[in-house]
């Protein structure tokens, strides 16, 4: 066996002999280093535990993310906040949070939503798309209806968002068309048909209580659409204020 190896060795060109020797030495050196590290006393290099924690956090972000871009943004946000915390350990929580002003989710574009933790381009696009369907958000809990958005993410961003109710696009129930009402995600075909039949019979719809008392729509549906409907009594009150 040894003779055969020696014979093959001497038959190799000189360049290949040198390369084989170099590879063998590298393998031996790597093996010796690995064996030596195991017998070294004391803890590992400084900062190794922190590095491992950050590496685990980044891997978890990739596992939870709806896209690679979101995971990258989430990881950068985590690291940025971590650096700020280490540099300003004596500051209060309110001071740290002031570095990130709250975002109005009724007026923000996708670029303004991206700095929020856990929100990447995919979720930012879904939030805006759902907001446009609704006509604006009435309360933060409506974010639970955004497709795929985790409840953990909503809790993380809850203190960093707010809602401008004046930006809500309302539907004038006494003049809205069938298609306009049907476009709203909280109304189905049967709901719209019942509303229009009642409106044709009654002429005007004054309040949400009128719809409840006459059983035009289920209470749950009335509660959901209440922030998006402009009733005739609201118009009358607005007109009287202008006259005064």
pTM of the model: 0.57
215 and 189 in one domain? Answer: yes
Q: Which two tokens stand for residue 43?
A: 């803890």
Query: Total domain count for the chain?
Result: 2
196 and 131 in one domain? Answer: no
Domain membership flag for residue 112: yes
Buried b / exposed e along 183-204 (16+ C-beta atoms within 10 A): ebebbeeebbebbeebbeeeee
Provide the β-strand partners of residue 172: 230
pLDDT at 92 exceeding the cut of 50 = no
Domain membership flag for residue 42: no
Q: Which of 20-24, 46-50, 105-109 has the lowest mean pLDDT?
A: 46-50
217 and 126 in one domain? Answer: no
Rg value, the chain, Cα: 32
Domain membership flag for residue 17: no
Domain interval for residue 113:
59-86+103-165
216 and 199 in one domain? Answer: yes
pLDDT band for position 225 (cuts 50, 70, 90): very high
Query: pLDDT per residue over 94-114, tens digit each?
Result: 444 446 689 999 999 999 999
- Domain ends where: 165, 181, 200? 165
> Per-residue pLDDT averaged across 12-24, rounded?
67
Domain membership flag for residue 1: no
Query: pLDDT per residue over 124-173, tens digit each?
Result: 999 999 999 999 999 999 999 999 999 999 999 999 999 999 999 999 99
> Per-residue pLDDT averaged across 208-217, rounded?
94
199 and 113 in one domain? Answer: no
> Per-residue pLDDT averaged across 209-224, rounded?
94
Domain membership flag for residue 152: yes
pLDDT at 32: 73
Contacts for 75 with CB less than 8 Å, ≥ 6 apart:
57, 58, 61, 62
């Amino acid at each position: 066996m040894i003779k055969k190896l020696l014979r093959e060795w001497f038959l190799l060109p000189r360049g290949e002999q040198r390369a084989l020797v170099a590879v063998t030495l590298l393998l031996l050196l790597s093996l010796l280093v690995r064996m030596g590290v195991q017998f070294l006393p004391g803890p590992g290099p400084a900062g190794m535990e922190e590095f491992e924690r950050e590496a685990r956090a980044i891997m978890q972000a990739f596992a939870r993310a709806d896209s690679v871009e979101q995971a990258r943004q989430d990881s950068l946000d985590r690291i940025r906040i971590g650096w700020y915390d280490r540099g300003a350990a004596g500051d209060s929580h309110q001071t740290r949070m002031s570095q990130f002003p709250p975002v109005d989710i009724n007026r923000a574009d996708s670029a303004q939503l991206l700095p929020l933790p856990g929100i990447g381009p995919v979720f930012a696009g879904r939030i805006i798309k759902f907001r446009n369907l609704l006509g604006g958000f009435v309360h933060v809990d409506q974010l639970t209806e955004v497709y795929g958005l985790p409840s953990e993410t909503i809790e993380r961003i809850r203190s960093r968002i707010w809602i401008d109710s004046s930006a809500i696009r309302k539907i004038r129930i006494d003049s809205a068309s069938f298609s306009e009402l049907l476009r709203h995600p909280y109304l189905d075909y049967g709901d719209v048909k019942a509303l229009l039949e009642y409106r044709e019979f009654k002429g005007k719809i004054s309040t949400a209580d009128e719809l409840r008392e006459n059983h035009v729509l289920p209470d749950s549906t009335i509660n959901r659409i209440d922030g998006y409907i402009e009733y005739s009594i609201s118009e009358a009150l607005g007109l009287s204020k202008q006259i005064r």
